Structure 1
Amino acid sequence: MRDAFPRAATAIVSTATHGIGEAPGQSAMELAVRASLLALGRVGLTPADVDGLFIALPHDYFAGLGLAEYLGIHPRLTNNSRVGGSSFQTYVLWAALALAAGQCDVALITYGSNQRTASGKLQSSLRPSPFEAPYQALTPASAYALAASRHMHQFGTTREQLAQVAVAARQWAQRNPEAFMRDPLTVEQCLASRMVSSPLSVRDSCLVTDGAAALVMTRGDRARDLCLHPVYVLGAAEATHHRMISTMPDLTVTAAAESGARAYAQAGIGPQDVDVVQLYDAFTINTILFLEDLGFCPKGEGGRFVEGGRIAPGGSLPVNTNGGGLSCVHPGMYGLFTLVEAARQLAGEAGERQVSGAEIALAHGNGGELSSQATVVLGTGAAL
């Protein structure tokens, strides 16, 4: 049965980021609120207009209730369910369904974290399972190192190819004034950097930053009254194969193969139609796995695919054009930032890193240890 997704019935009308890098003195909630107010204000809305609220905070499992209270609103719909960093793609999915069904009129999706200035280390809700804890793995780095090791063994992927992912992300970040790390980066520097969990080094691993993001969604028929360039939701799907990395059926195949295929079908497109790609790059192996599973190259070819600057500025497939979680921002969960960057590219708001003529974008989220995968396909009015 084909998904009955309301293709292009809803749209992102505004996005905002706040506090990227370091935001001392601000709580996770305060960061999320500031990003939310910025996003609403850009299109002439106020918190009182919001009746659909979607939020995840690093350690607040009642964040939806707290945000409603903080904003002084009584939303008709509140969702703070969590599937890790892909939560925000699932929020777009559920917001689109709710808007199309008339359950709400204005949906606000937001996130904030002060992990860098509060603790100085990666905040994660992941906890070792009782079956894996005795092995004292680094959570979550060792899980992704297992996937990288298997991919290298099975397909001949090299550390140099992983480094190509980090270098491409840094080259995009150098075009983004918001990006936290903008210094030049070479493959040689990546290979010489401190090892975190073999074969992944610190340059194969995401940043530890503060930051917040927000986006506003409405029904498509109202979108043009609020902004000049609405970004329509063409498809959205999620899939899950496992919770613990030790139970992942195949370390080289993620559930993105399912979520991506369903999102493409809903949108009526294929990977060849996508102009710009935003992937959850918590580690360099993520980008390679997702490029394969989302159909941009055959399984096992991801390492060779990213060689030669193919995903860097000037390459044939622009990937993580803000610098990604590797060089722009990674405040605990990165999924919402993929959506914000995808929407900015389609709205023509990406400045020096703008991909000319972009009409279709893909934003993909990853949660847990390659556990939850969620894909959103977005398009401009010309793509309808």
Structure 2
Amino acid sequence: MPSRDFDGALIAAAVEVPYRRKHDEAGTAGLLAQAFSAVLARSGFTAKDVDGLGVSSFTLAPDHAIDMTWRLGLSTRWNMDDCNGGASGINMLQHAIRAIQHGDANVIVLLSGDTFAPADFKRLVEHYNVVTRDYLRPLQNGGPNSLFAMLTARHARRHGLTRADYGRLCVAQREWAMRNPGAVYRTSLTLDDYLRAPMVADPLCRFDCVPVVSGANAIVVARADRVGGRPAVQVQALQSRFNHDHQDGDGLSTAMACFADTLWRDAGAAPTQMDLACVYDDYPAMSLIQLADLGFAPDGDLRALIARVASQALPVNTSGGQLSAGQAGAAGGMHGLVEAITQLQGAAGERQLPDAALAVVSGYGMVGYRYAMCANAVVLARTNGAPS
């Protein structure tokens, strides 16, 4: 039986402000405000109903969640800033549900997003944390691509994979993106296109690295009795681990491997029962690592896993993922959540999966000295009158 730990709160709506390749003149606060208005319109709630706000952003600074609260004209009982990058969406979701369960708020809006001018992005990658500033920046490493190039090379050697194997993941996600009007990159991508692409950091080519875009995402989490008969999504299970190996491992496994059994036990489900998976795809190798850690390759055969993803027998990152939809800074930590919720609510348009009822979403982020330090995952279920 699924865990009842998350009863009492439902996800009422999720939206994504269409991502754009260039710096958005609305600024980060403007994009977050657009997402706020859009998600309320979809949820049926009004700003007067909102008594909780969570925000994740790299470029909202020097403003914080409280500044957005003021800008949006809200008066809240619960506020949260989250700085956990790719793990921020699931992290905020966990805290929001607990706040609702304990009576700290009734209707919470979670926002994430960024817009980058060239100088903004350079500043972010060079001053991401103290380790980056003091040890990696002097090497002129150019950000995380060099670190994950080494990790991808290790992963390829470990599992006997080629560039074409990773390319099949990129091609599969682009096929999904072509059905997503909100994706930034929607032109056809063939395996030959991938293999001919210029190298960024060997063995990573242009299509292995998430494109930096501007955009924002939003989710409404509300007390179950406030949602009414609108389609909604329920959390079946959620697990998180932070700094699980003190950066002493090789990066070829995440903390998801530590908690996967507990996640599935709490959900009362198994990987084979998932209608879709949305994993944090900063690089193709990391998609494979997370899928394997979550139990989608129980025999360790990654080529068989790649074949299932490439054929869409296992729908993965049906929005196109960050590799084709783009990575809008901290919004990347909510992108997969929004896609899974959209699918479970039957609102994904041309890319809609038939009878989608269960989804797993993972978060992974905040690079330390070698790889990311934060990992989490959530199992979501269609409920409360969502279409079947």
Q: What TM-score, normalized by structure 1, do the two folds share?
A: 0.90
The residue that corresponds to 2:12 in the other structure is: 13
Compare 113-122 and 320-329 and name the one that shifted more.
113-122
Q: Secondary structure at the match of 1:149?
A: helix
1:362 aligns to 2:360 (yes or no): yes
Structure 1 residue 17 displacement after superposition: 1.6
The residue that corresponds to 1:137 in the other structure is: 141
Amino acid corresponding to residue 331 of structure 1 in structure 2: A
Q: Secondary structure at the match of 1:361?
A: strand
Q: Secondary structure at the match of 2:90?
A: helix
1:30 aligns to 2:34 (yes or no): no
Q: Is residue 211–residue 329 contact of structure 1 (8 Å, CA) maintained in 2? A: no
Q: Is residue 292–residue 301 contact of structure 1 (8 Å, CA) maintained in 2? A: no
Structure 1 residue 10 displacement after superposition: 1.7
Q: 1:357 to 1:121 in 2, by over 3 A?
A: farther
1:194 aligns to 2:193 (yes or no): no
Q: Is residue 114–residue 210 contact of structure 1 (8 Å, CA) maintained in 2? A: yes
Q: Distance in 1 between matches of 2:265 and 2:385?
A: 15
The residue that corresponds to 1:338 in the other structure is: 336
Amino acid corresponding to residue 216 of structure 1 in structure 2: V
- Map 1:116-265 → 2, pairs under 5 A: 123-124=124-125, 126-127=128-129, 128=132, 130-225=134-229, 227=230, 229-241=231-243, 247-265=247-265
Q: Distance in 2 between matches of 1:61 and 1:377?
A: 34
1:75 aligns to 2:41 (yes or no): no
Q: Secondary structure at the match of 1:358?
A: coil
Q: What TM-score, normalized by structure 2, do the two folds share?
A: 0.89
Structure 1 residue 248 displacement after superposition: 4.1
Query: Where in structure 2 are there 5+ consecutive unaligned residues?
Result: none
Q: Secondary structure at the match of 1:311?
A: helix
Deviations 1:253-308 (A, max 9, x none): 1112234433323222221221111111111111111110111113753344113x
The residue that corresponds to 2:111 in the other structure is: 110
Q: Secondary structure at the match of 1:67?
A: helix
Q: 1:61 to 1:151 in 2, by over 3 A?
A: farther
Q: Is residue 3–residue 268 contact of structure 2 (8 Å, CA) maintained in 1? A: no
The residue that corresponds to 1:101 in the other structure is: 102
Backbone CA RMSD of aligned residues: 2.5
Q: Distance in 2 between matches of 1:84 and 1:311?
A: 25
Q: Is residue 3–residue 237 contact of structure 2 (8 Å, CA) maintained in 1? A: no
Q: Distance in 2 between matches of 1:298 and 1:37?
A: 43
Q: Is residue 280–residue 287 contact of structure 1 (8 Å, CA) maintained in 2? A: yes
Tell me how many residue pairs correspond in the alignment.
Answer: 375
Q: Secondary structure at the match of 2:111?
A: strand
Amino acid corresponding to residue 323 of structure 1 in structure 2: G
Q: 1:4 to 1:235 in 2, by over 3 A?
A: closer
Q: Is residue 359–residue 379 contact of structure 1 (8 Å, CA) maintained in 2? A: yes
Q: Secondary structure at the match of 2:10?
A: strand
Q: Secondary structure at the match of 1:150?
A: helix
1:351 aligns to 2:349 (yes or no): yes
